[in-house]
């Protein structure tokens, strides 16, 4: 075989390998971008629930309520909730990135439901001043969170673990909500 043909074949095969490698790099970049957009989307959804809920501030009505001694100071809530919303968003993204929505339809659908219930609680409690209804709403919320956590754990164990601080915080919030309801029965709305 002439040397030119061998060199031409080698160059041809090298170019094919280079094109395949570049194509693989482009595919990896696209997957990384899709994953980054997915993470941004799940974080945005979670933080949006917090933003909607934050439209209903405690205000003078809440300040006038009788509260148990173990009620956290007001400044604690914003940073705690921000961390929890980020953890929730990352947990949902982990599940989504592993199996997509089609593979975890129940888990991710219930995740969205619990975000809506989360935002609704703020309206019921702080907006409508219905401590009693807020307590029952938060029990439903907590139940859905427990289901989501179990479903997330089944898909990606780290996602289930990331939901645990939220489970505990909402459990504490339900207990606080109940205490506030009991301490303020008959108080003006």
The total number of residues shown for the chain amounts to 189
- pLDDT: which is higher, 41 or 100: 41
DSSP string, 65-121: S---TTPPPGGGHHHHHHHHHHHHHHHHHHHHHHHHHHHTHHHHHHHHHHHHHHHHH
Strand, helix or coil at 124? helix
Least confident of 53-57, 136-140, 142-146: 53-57
Q: For residue 138, what are its two tokens? A: 């938060």
Residue 36: pLDDT band with limits 50, 70, 90: confident
pLDDT of 21 higher than 60: no
Angle at 127 between CA 85 and CA 111, to 5 degrees: 30
Closest to 156 in 3D by CA, of 108, 84, 85, 86: 108
Query: Which residue is associated with the tokens 């409690």?
Result: 125
Residue 162: pLDDT band with limits 50, 70, 90: very high
Helices (H) and strands (E) in the chain, counts: 6, 0
Q: What is the pLDDT of residues 40-86, one digit of tens each?
A: 999 999 999 999 988 988 889 999 999 999 999 989 999 999 999 99
Mean pLDDT of 108-132: 96
What is this structure's pTM? 0.81
Q: Is residue 52 within 8 Å of 119, Cβ to Cβ?
A: yes
């Amino acid at each position: 075989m002439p040397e030119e043909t061998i060199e031409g074949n080698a160059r041809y095969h090298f170019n094919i390998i280079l094109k395949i490698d570049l194509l693989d790099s482009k595919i990896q970049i696209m997957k990384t971008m899709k994953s980054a957009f997915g993470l941004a989307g799940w974080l945005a959804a979670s933080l949006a629930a917090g933003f909607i809920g934050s439209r209903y501030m405690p205000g003078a009505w809440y300040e006038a309520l009788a509260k148990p001694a173990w009620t956290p100071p007001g400044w604690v809530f914003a940073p705690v909730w921000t961390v929890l919303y980020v953890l929730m968003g990352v947990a949902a993204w982990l599940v989504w990135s592993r199996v997509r929505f089609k593979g975890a339809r129940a888990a991710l659908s219930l995740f969205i439901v619990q975000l809506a219930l989360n935002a609704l609680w703020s309206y019921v409690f702080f907006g409508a001043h219905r401590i009693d209804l807020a307590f029952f709403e938060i029990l439903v919320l907590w139940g859905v969170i427990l289901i989501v956590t179990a479903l997330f754990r089944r898909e990606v164990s780290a996602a289930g673990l990331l939901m645990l601080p939220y489970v505990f915080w909402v459990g504490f919030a339900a207990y606080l909500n109940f205490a506030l309801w009991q301490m303020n029965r008959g108080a003006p709305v």
